[in-house]
Amino acid sequence: MARIIGGLGTTHVPSIGKAIAERKQNDPYWKPFFDGFHFVHRWLAREKPDVAVVFYNDHGLNFFLDKLPTFAVGAANEYRNEDEGWGIPVSKSAAGIPNLSWHLIERLVADEFDVTICQDMLVDHAVTIPLSLMWPGEAPWPVRIVPVSINTVQHPLPSAARCFKLGQSIGRAIDTYEENLKVLVIGTGGLSHQLDGERAGFINKAFDQLCMDRLTNDPESLTRYSIPEIVEQAGAQGVEFLNWIAMRGALTGKVIEVHRNYHIPISNTAAATMVFDNQPAVLRGQHAA
Ligand code: DHB
Ligand code: FE
């Protein structure tokens, strides 16, 4: 059976791609952020996930404001990136795993999530930057992915409660997939940031810390925030935290926070990285015996 080994949340700021291309990981500006990935690299080398389910938001590469699904799931063999206009190199492609995608889609629709099914899908920096951070180097990324896009861009957005339930539905679906796969669940974006308008540059450290603590100890409490409350507290783009809430919803076992890094700012964003171990119920049972 497939097994969810853990969850990871990370910021997806595009200029990270430029810093990687220019090998600036040890520059004073970038070091506190990139240093937060040393643990991640060791953890991934030990856990060796086969698959990553990635909750993210598209920023206008695959979907634009004219047609923007609330929830969309990729079911392609390959996900390409293209020039998004940020001045960073176009990323290599990510490999897909269509059979697992279709299984998740079947289970989601059975759970009354009427998702958009994408057999052809470009992925933007919200997918490629996290993968580049997690597996640096030239080789193909060692995981196949299922991209799950959540609309955090064009209001009305899905509620935090709905995103948590989306994650729970995907978590249950992974647990019932018959192939022997180790699955990592990723949520990208955030934490607090606002890129435009009167509050451009807005960051809220206290709220970010509350969100990270709650994600670990009491994720359901985050689902009581309304979208306007999250926008007020985290900024217009800080609402990308919905992707982290979905990731946390997908962790179906006993969840333990094993890593956290928080650094202000990277570009306009409060940059955060978190890793959670997910100990499956069956293993826990063996432990108790
Ligand atoms: C920035 C942050 C984002 O989440 C994004 O999608 C684009 C830019 C930034 O801080 O520059
Ligand atoms: Fe973003």
Measure the CA–CA gap between 157 and 264, rounded to whole angstroms: 26
10 Å Cβ neighbour count for 60?
Answer: 12
Return the pLDDT at 138.
75
Instruction: Flag whether pLDDT at 285 surpasses 60.
Output: no
Across-strand partners of 279? 254
Across-strand partners of 7? 185, 276
Instruction: Write down the pTM of the prediction.
Output: 0.97
Tell me phi and psi for residue 165, to 5 degrees. -65, -35
Task: State pLDDT tens for residues 69-121.
Answer: 999 999 999 999 999 999 999 999 999 999 999 999 999 999 999 999 999 99
Active site residue 59: no
Across-strand partners of 214? none
Question: What's the Rg (C-alpha) of the chain?
Answer: 17
Task: State pLDDT tens for residues 165-224.
Answer: 999 999 999 999 999 999 999 999 999 999 999 999 999 999 999 999 999 999 999 999
Task: Kindly state the percentage of the chain with pLDDT values over 90.
Answer: 96
Taking the centre of ligand 1 as the mean of its atom positions, its distance from the CA of residue 194, in whole angstroms, is 8
Q: What is the best residue among 13, 16, 243 to mutate for testing ligand 1's pocket, by most ligand atoms within 8 Å of CB?
A: 13
Active site residue 193: yes
Q: Which residues line ligand 1 (CB under 6 A)?
A: 12-14, 59, 189, 193, 195, 237, 240, 267-269
DSSP 13: -
Return the pLDDT at 288.
43
Measure the CA–CA gap between 116 and 141, rounded to whole angstroms: 26
Catalytic residue selected from 12, 59, 103, 125: 125
Mean pLDDT of 255-268: 98
Its sign, for the CA torsion 197, 199, 200, 205, is negative
* Residue of minimum CA distance from atom 8 in ligand 1: 13
Return the pLDDT at 289.
39
Taking the centre of ligand 1 as the mean of its atom positions, its distance from the CA of residue 45, in whole angstroms, is 28
Sorted by where each starts, the structural domains of the chain and their CATH numbers stand as 3-288 (3.40.830.10)
For residues 109-128, b (16+ Cβ closer than 10 Å) or e, as one string?
Answer: eeeebebbebeebbbbbbbb
Contact criterion met (CB below 8 Å) for 224 and 250: no
Which amino acid type is present at position 151?
N
Measure the CA–CA gap between 9 and 267, rounded to whole angstroms: 18
